[in-house]
Amino acid sequence: MESVRIPGTELVPSRVGLGTWAIGGWKWGGTDDANAVRTIHAALDRGITLIDTAPVYGFGHSEEIVGRAIAEYGQRDKMVLATKTALEWQEGSDGVVRNASAARIEKEINDSLRRLRTETIDLYQIHWPDPRVPMEETANAMRRLYRDGKIRAIGVSNFTSEQCEAFREVAPLHSVQPPLNLFERDAERDIIPYAQREGLVFLAYGALCRGLLTGKMHADSTFTGDDLRQSDPKFRAPRFTQYLAAVEALTQYARERHDKPVLALAVRWVLDAHPNAIALWGARRPDQVTPLDDIDGWTLEASDLRDIDTLIDEHVTDPVGPEFMAPPARGG
């Protein structure tokens, strides 16, 4: 498994990380804890060393599962454990709002340490910027945690470059985490070039575009319960047809050009088009990490990247981003 050093730290995580939103169950139709633990173990067995989670993933449940899995697996010192802060919810409610206040951050760090069964969080990230809290307050709270050794590196998620600059006036910053995949590339306009200029690692979440890029979805695929894809415009007519056609074309290209599945092509694109990237791979069953074996040992050339862009442009004529996932500010 390829790895990358997070500048300014001693952390050297794998370039593919395990994303655990689905493992938490919320917005993914529930979870099976024992299966989730086996999934984490399977990912670690295949060389993944970075696990990315958040309190809001299942309202603490994802962190609890990750903590249990790591305790059972051992080798904590070889892992890079990443989690987040600055969202809040009311117990028994699906309502999630932004809260990057110092009080919220100081409460969440202790809750996360307890659930994750660890003394230190390797990478602690502001989940979403909060327009109702001064950036200085948020950054100061993170700086104190860093100074006190509760966290080993500071990251932000869903920030613009301007917000990063304001944050860095007060506290160090080591990583950013934007959404990025073959179909969602807004981050390439601002935050990714910024990260490259400033020497920051970026964690690309949604690398498989909520399952679209696995190649396993069809026109009759349905989503039930609280599955977030029910509200994702990509999974509704008429766009769903366009995206499925693009996946079919990419599947054929991956098979004929590289003898690889489209899923591997999607992850390799994140890694090869962006040399400072870590691709987050979401899974909640052990079989869903088996395709990791197809990622290593090959690369996409510049000509491949151009061909891929052409195929997507031919089929997706009405693209849409991941804006539907953004939580509101308090009172919004």
From first CA to last CA, the distance across the chain in angstroms is 43
The pLDDT of residue 222: 80
Over residues 218-247, the pLDDT tens digits come to 988 887 666 778 788 898 889 999 999 999
Which residue in the block uniquely carries the two structure tokens 């899974």? 283
Tell me which of 29-38, 116-125, 255-264 is least confident.
29-38
Over residues 64-98, the pLDDT tens digits come to 999 999 999 999 999 999 999 999 986 654 678 89
Q: Is 57 a catalytic residue?
A: yes
The ranges assigned to domains in the chain are: 16-211+268-297
Asked whether residue 185 carries a pLDDT value surpassing 70, the answer given is: yes
The radius of gyration of the chain from alpha carbons, rounded to an integer in Å, stands at 19
The pLDDT of residue 243: 94
Residues 52/60, Cβ–Cβ less than 8 Å = no
Extended strands (E) in the chain = 16-19, 50-52, 80-85, 87-89, 96-98, 123-126, 154-157, 175-177, 201-204, 277-282
What dotted CATH number matches 16-211+268-297? Answer: 3.20.20.100
Average pLDDT over residues 303-331: 90
Sequence-separated (6 or more) residues with CB below 8 Å from residue 110:
none
Average pLDDT over residues 147-162: 97
Average pLDDT over residues 320-331: 81
Q: 280: closest CA among 27, 57, 96, 53?
A: 53
Residue 315 pLDDT class (50, 70, 90 cuts): very high
Q: 261: closest CA among 311, 316, 306, 208?
A: 208
Tokens of 36: 């989730």
The pLDDT of residue 29: 52
Tell me which of 26-35, 69-78, 271-280, 313-322 is least confident.
26-35
The pLDDT of residue 24: 65
Catalytic, out of 57, 194, 205, 253: 57
Helix (H, G, I), strand (E, B) or coil at 245: helix
**Paired sense of beta strands 50-52 and 80-85, if any:** parallel
The pLDDT of residue 38: 92
Residue 175 pLDDT class (50, 70, 90 cuts): very high
| Dihedral sign of CA atoms 298, 21, 220, 314 in order | negative
Q: Tell me what percent of the residues of the chain surpass a pLDDT of 90.
A: 72
Average pLDDT over residues 200-206: 94
Residue 60 pLDDT class (50, 70, 90 cuts): confident
Distance CA 27, CA 16 (A): 23
